[in-house]
Amino acid sequence: MASKQVISDSNVKERLSRTMVGFLGGGRMAQAMAKGFISSGLVRARNIIVSDKSEEMLDQLGNIGVRTTMDNREVVNNSDLVVVAVKPHVVKPVLQEVKQVVSPDKQLFVSIAAGVTIKSMEQDLPEGTRVVRVMPNVPALVQAGASVLSPGTHAAIGDAQLVQELLKTIGICEQGPESLLDAVTGVSGSGPAYAFAAIESLADGGVKMGLPRQLSIKLAAQTLLGAAKMVLDTGKHPGELKDEVCSPGGTTICAMHTLEKQGFRGTLIDAVEAATLKARELGSLSAQKK
Ligand SMILES: NC(=O)C1=CN([C@@H]2O[C@H](COP(=O)(O)OP(=O)(O)OC[C@H]3O[C@@H](n4cnc5c(N)ncnc54)[C@H](O)[C@@H]3O)[C@@H](O)[C@H]2O)C=CC1
Ligand SMILES: O=C(O)[C@@H]1CCC=N1
């Protein structure tokens, strides 16, 4: 087993600049991450290799300068860090396909698949393989992602540090116990979709009240961005910030009353719960598959 030593930040960055990063599956999330890594400048496009079964996906990836292949084993053979970026139900067959060429001393496996547990990954890979499970999100594309990672049984502290440093190039990255990852999926993994729907709906409201569509979308998006930035930068509770917008007898409190009557908060809480439970279900389905 690799030694559980903490390594300095500069060593991690230096190791990262030499790391060959592979992606098994080159769809939306792999493309967002690969483009984010390249834009950060810490990972060179020529140090990234991606496999996919779809030529269309490989063409899209070729356009950003990374190496592409249809052969998953070629990715593993040429990578130090392998991101498993296929859909959850495809993880097991893909790991079975590449297992023969994995050397536990060489490759570190990083799964981003919703629900798929560290235990099932470790069972599908050779004994002693270092695994880190991550839940990232799609704003990785614009270096505004949010990720949480959990190291597997054989991962060294240096491995978790390396993955954290890599993910910090595309946003924030926290470490936490694996038991939290399905709820992380419910909040931030799936969360961009809720935010996009919110932006679209706010913009529809603006259009209903006479704003041009493009202006309305821009205002709605900037409003979510600005509000999010205030929460992160001020450290104030979101409820306090909400109160600061609500003037007594003013416009906002009337809007808040409407939102509360329609179950706005309860609906968001239900949405996070639904996504979390679905992630758990995906995990138990993938564990059952032979
Ligand atoms: N889309 C998102 O916002 C997020 C997705 N994830 C996770 O990332 C993973 C990928 O999701 P997406 O990128 O959205 O899916 P996607 O469908 O866009 O990408 C998956 C890719 O895998 C390819 N593929 C299928 N079978 C394959 C095989 N046997 N070998 C190699 N490639 C194969 C497909 O052609 C496709 O391009 C999932 O496990 C998902 O849970 C995690 C966080 C956010
Ligand atoms: O919808 C999904 O299953 C994936 C996982 C998190 C975001 N997208």
ipTM score here?
A: 0.99
Name the DSSP class of 107: -
Average pLDDT, the chain: 94
- CA of 240 relative to ligand 1 center, distance in Å: 39
What are 289's two structure tokens?
Answer: 């598959």
Q: What is the CATH number of domain 9-180?
A: 3.40.50.720
Q: What is the CATH number of domain 189-281?
A: 1.10.3730.10
**pLDDT top residue among 288 and 63:** 63
Asked whether 253 and 246 are in contact (CB, 8 A), the reply is: yes
Is the distance from the beta carbon of residue 189 to the nearest atom of ligand 2 less than 6 Å? Answer: yes
The residue type of 269 is: I
| The model scores a pTM over 0.90 | yes
- Counting every residue written for the chain, the total comes to 290
- 236-278 pLDDT, tens digit each: 999 999 999 999 999 999 999 999 999 999 999 999 999 999 9
Is the distance from the beta carbon of residue 94 to the nearest atom of ligand 1 less than 6 Å? Answer: yes
What are 86's two structure tokens?
Answer: 């296929």
Q: At what angle do helices 28-40 and 55-62 cross, to 10 degrees?
A: 10
| 189 marked ligand binding residue | no
DSSP helix/strand/coil, 86: coil
pLDDT reported for residue 290: 62
In this structure, the dihedral spanned by the alpha carbons of residues 195, 201, 206 and 207, taken in order and rounded to 10 degrees, is 130
| Residue 30 φ then ψ, to 5° | -60, -40
Q: Which ligand is closest in space to the CA of residue 275?
A: 2
Q: Mean pLDDT over residues 167-192, rounded?
A: 97
**Structural domain boundaries in the chain:** 9-180, 189-281
Is the distance from the beta carbon of residue 29 to the nearest atom of ligand 1 less than 6 Å? Answer: yes
Asked whether 286 and 96 are in contact (CB, 8 A), the reply is: no
DSSP helix/strand/coil, 285: helix
